[in-house]
C-alpha cells in the first residue's frame, strides 16, 4: 500500500511512475481473500485501512479513489476474539456498551477498558507523535520537551516508564479475563509493528 500511495501521489503531481510488484498480487497487505472457507472472504490486515483513511494521503487521494469506485464500509463491531474453548468478546464502537459487555465477562475489566481507552485519548498527541516519528529527531525532541514542560519531567518519565512495560505483564495484571486479554493482545502486537 505504501508504494501504491506514493505512486498515486507522484502521479497526481504529474510524474511518470512505474510500480513493480515483487509479490504475486498487487496491494501489499490490503486485499480480500478466502482464507478460512470457500465463499467466506476476509479483508486481510484490515487494520491498515483505518490507518490509511485517517492519513493525509487519503485526504489527498480520497475523491479520486471514490471516483474510481473505492468505498469503505464501516461497521459498529470492528473487532472481536473467539478462543478455542468458545469464549468470546466483541468490541463495538460504543464505549458504554463495551464497558458493560466486558464487565459482564469479568467484573471490573470493562471499567479498566474504559480507563485505558480514556488514557489513550488523553495522551494521543504524545503516543502517536512517538509512534509516527523518528526517535532521534528534532520533532521528537520538541514533542518530548513540550510534554516535559506541560507534565513536569518526573510525570513524563513515569508515563514513559509505564508505556515501556512489557504488554504481557500489563495484560496479566490489568485484566482478570483470559478472553479480554486475548481481545487486547493483537492491538499490542500491532503497536509493536
pTM given for the model: 0.71
pLDDT at 193: 41
Query: What CA–CA distance (Å, rounded) separates 57 from 63?
Result: 11
Nearest Cα residue to 170 out of 153, 192, 150, 154: 192
19 and 50 share a domain? yes
Q: Which of 67, 87, 111 is the last residue of a domain?
A: 67
pLDDT at 47: 65
Is residue 116 in some structural domain? yes
Which ranges constitute the DSSP H helices of the chain? 2-12, 47-53, 56-67, 95-105, 109-122, 124-131, 138-151, 153-163, 167-174, 178-192
Averages of pLDDT over runs of 10 residues in the chain (193 residues) are: 87 93 75 85 74 86 93 86 94 96 97 94 90 88 96 95 87 95 82 48
59 and 92 share a domain? no
Residue 58's domain comprises 2-67
Rg (CA), the chain: 20
17 and 109 share a domain? no
b/e 100-121 (16+ beta carbons within 10 angstroms → b): ebbbebbeebbebbbeeeeeee
Maximum C-alpha span of the chain: 59
pLDDT at 106: 97
pLDDT at 50: 74
Q: Which of 67, 97, 121 is the last residue of a domain?
A: 67
Contact assessment for residue 167 and residue 185, using Cβ atoms and an 8 Å cutoff: yes
Contact assessment for residue 17 and residue 4, using Cβ atoms and an 8 Å cutoff: no
Query: What CA–CA distance (Å, rounded) separates 111 from 102?
Result: 8
Kindly report, residue by residue over 100-122, the tens digit of the pLDDT. 999 999 999 999 999 999 998 99
Amino acid at each position: 500500500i505504501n508504494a501504491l500511495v506514493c505512486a498515486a501521489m507522484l502521479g497526481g503531481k504529474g510524474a511518470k511512475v512505474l510500480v513493480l510488484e515483487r509479490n504475486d498480487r498487487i496491494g501489499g497487505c490490503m486485499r480480500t481473500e478466502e482464507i478460512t472457507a470457500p465463499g467466506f472472504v476476509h479483508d486481510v490486515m484490515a487494520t491498515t485501512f483505518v490507518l490509511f483513511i485517517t492519513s493525509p494521503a487519503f485526504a489527498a487521494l480520497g475523491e479520486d479513489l471514490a471516483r474510481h469506485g473505492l468505498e469503505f464500509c464501516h461497521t459498529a463491531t470492528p473487532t472481536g476474539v473467539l478462543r478455542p474453548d468458545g469464549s468470546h468478546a466483541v468490541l463495538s464502537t460504543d464505549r458504554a456498551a463495551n464497558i458493560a459487555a466486558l464487565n459482564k465477562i469479568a467484573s471490573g475489566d470493562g471499567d479498566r477498558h474504559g480507563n485505558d481507552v480514556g488514557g489513550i485519548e488523553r495522551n494521543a498527541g504524545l503516543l502517536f507523535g512517538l509512534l509516527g516519528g523518528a526517535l532521534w529527531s528534532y520533532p521528537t525532541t520538541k514533542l518530548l520537551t513540550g510534554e516535559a514542560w506541560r507534565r513536569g519531567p518526573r510525570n513524563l518519565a513515569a508515563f514513559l516508564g509505564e508505556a515501556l512495560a512489557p504488554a504481557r505483564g500489563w495484560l496479566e495484571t490489568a485484566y482478570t479475563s483470559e478472553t479480554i486479554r486475548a481481545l487486547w493482545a493483537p492491538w499490542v502486537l500491532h503497536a509493536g509493528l
